[in-house]
């Protein structure tokens, strides 16, 4: 009898305290790769390598092997996984938006003031708040959409990161606070969330994609987090980890910092030919 990853995943998650996003991700992944067999897992990994990045596939491999190990340790299956294909990460250099590009984005949100969502609310105002909140807080997409008005006292933003459970505190600019108040005027349902009420996350991603195409910029809303981390590192070397709320040393340097920008602002050896 073949054992399904999905049935193991439910027992695995029930035995651990995990955040909602991780719980949802594991359950979704366990349904894509059906059975705990070498052939099934290897076939799934090969297929995924044709569809997405090596980083994503490697992370999925790690989760699926964790489920298999859990099944073995709890005597759900009699053997550990063997001969599972390895995934080598081919990572391109990290890129982020420049400070000038971020400033230009804020200015161009005005061109979206005439665009409305289904409730008739101003998309330009929504974009301004999203961009500034994301940039100044350095928070993840999910956390930004869960920020509440009550999380802000004066100009201090406090929240608990959903991924790690660690508390974070950031100072917001006066302009960001002003933009939040302007967007709040459209919040007729008095939803406690700052931008989460405006639209669903999928539609929000579509709006951001359209806006970035209009600005002629690459990337997605994830670039807000890496851009703010990069600019923090330029002005305050060694502080990107604190800004991002990372526990792991070196994670910011590996995945978030645009060294193309940082190297332009760090001292170089004097020329030997002048």
* pLDDT single digits (tens) 90-127: 778 899 999 999 999 999 999 999 999 988 899 999 99
Asked if residue 139 and residue 204 are part of one domain, the reply reads yes
What's the CA angle centered on 226, arms 222 and 229, to 5 degrees?
A: 145
Asked if residue 167 and residue 42 are part of one domain, the reply reads no
272 belongs to a structural domain: no
Under DSSP, the state recorded for 2 is: P
187 belongs to a structural domain: yes
Say if residue 274's pLDDT is above 70. no
Q: Of 42-51, 183-192, 263-272, which range is least confident?
A: 263-272
What pTM, to 2 d.p., does this model score? 0.74
Asked if residue 139 and residue 54 are part of one domain, the reply reads no
Asked if residue 67 and residue 113 are part of one domain, the reply reads no
Domain of residue 52, residue span: 5-73
107 belongs to a structural domain: yes
Please identify, among 57, 73, 89, the residue that sits at the C-terminal boundary of a domain.
73
pLDDT band for position 272 (50/70/90)? confident
Asked if residue 116 and residue 25 are part of one domain, the reply reads no
Asked if residue 206 and residue 254 are part of one domain, the reply reads yes
Task: Look up the CATH number of the domain holding residue 171.
Answer: 1.10.443.10
Asked if residue 253 and residue 123 are part of one domain, the reply reads yes
Q: Of 86-90, 143-147, 152-156, 256-260, which range is least confident?
A: 86-90
217 belongs to a structural domain: yes
3-state secondary structure string across the chain:
CCCEHHHHHHHHHHCCCCCHHHHHHHHHHHHHCCECCHHHHHHHHHHHHHHCCHHHHHHHHHHHHHHHHHHHHCCCCCCCCCCCCCCCCCCCCCCCCCHHHHHHHHHHHHHHCCCECCCCCEHHHHHHHHHHHHHHHCCCHHHHHHCEHHHEECCEEEEECCCCCCEEEEECCHHHHHHHHHHHCCCCCCCCECCCCCCCHHHHHHHHHHHHHHHCCCCCCHHHHHHHHHHHHHHCCCCHHHHHCCCCCCHHHHHCCCHHHHHHCCCCCCCCCC
Number of domains present in the structure of the chain: 2
Asked if residue 110 and residue 242 are part of one domain, the reply reads yes
Best CA proximity match to 125, nearest among 192, 66, 175: 175
């Amino acid at each position: 009898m073949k054992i399904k990853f999905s049935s193991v995943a439910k027992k695995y998650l029930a035995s651990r305290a995990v955040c909602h996003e991780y719980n949802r991700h594991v359950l979704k992944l366990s349904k894509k790769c059906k059975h705990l067999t070498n052939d099934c897992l290897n076939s799934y990994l090969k297929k995924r390598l044709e569809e997405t990045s090596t980083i994503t596939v490697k992370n999925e491999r790690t989760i699926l092997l964790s489920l298999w190990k859990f099944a073995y340790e709890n005597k759900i299956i009699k053997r550990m996984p063997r001969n599972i294909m390895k995934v080598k990460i081919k990572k391109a250099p990290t890129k982020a938006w420049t400070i000038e590009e971020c400033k230009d984005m804020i200015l161009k949100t005005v061109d979206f003031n005439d665009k409305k969502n289904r409730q008739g609310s101003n998309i330009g105002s929504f974009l301004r708040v999203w961009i500034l909140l994301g940039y100044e807080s350095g928070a993840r997409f999910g956390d930004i959409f869960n920020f509440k008005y009550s999380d802000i006292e004066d100009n201090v933003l406090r929240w608990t990161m959903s991924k790690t459970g660690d508390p974070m505190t950031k100072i917001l600019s006066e302009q960001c606070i002003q933009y939040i108040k302007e967007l709040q005027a459209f919040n007729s349902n008095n939803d406690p969330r700052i931008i989460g009420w405006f639209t669903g996350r999928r539609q929000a991603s579509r709006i951001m994609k359209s806006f970035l195409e209009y600005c002629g910029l690459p990337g997605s809303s994830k670039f807000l987090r890496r851009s703010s981390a990069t600019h923090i590192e330029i002005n305050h070397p060694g502080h990107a980890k604190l800004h991002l709320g990372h526990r792991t040393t070196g994670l910011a340097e590996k995945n978030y910092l645009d060294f193309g920008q940082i190297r332009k602002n760090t001292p170089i050896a004097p020329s030997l030919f002048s």
